[in-house]
Amino acid sequence: MTGMGALYLQKAVPEIATIFTTHATSIGRSIAGNNKPLYDYLFAYNGDQMARELNMEAKHSIEKQTAHHVDCFTTVSEITNNECKEL
């Protein structure tokens, strides 16, 4: 994950622009990896709640804060975009 580096740059050297591109969310991978239906119920999941349930709060929190604080946040597909919006 590059999240910590991007967050550090935002604080230490704010004149450097940051970009974060994701291919999937860590919480989405964990949901699917625990045999829960991801895309069928994407609208119903609360990302923070699922992170607590699946014991991955730190990773989810870093990823979420990075997405909110970088200068440019992108995804590689529309389905990943939806995952990011919902989770």
What DSSP designation does 44 have? G
pTM: 0.88
**Cα 6 from Cα 4, distance rounded (Å):** 5
The pLDDT tens digits of the residues spanning 24-70 come to: 999 999 999 999 999 999 999 999 999 999 999 999 999 999 999 99
**Cα 41 from Cα 22, distance rounded (Å):** 21
* DSSP H/E element including 72: strand 72-75
Predicted confidence band of residue 2 (pLDDT cuts 50, 70, 90): confident
The alpha carbon dihedral of 76, 29, 2, 15 has a sign of positive
82: helix, strand or coil = helix
| Alpha carbon 78 to its chain's center | 15
Residue ranges covered by each domain of the chain: 3-86
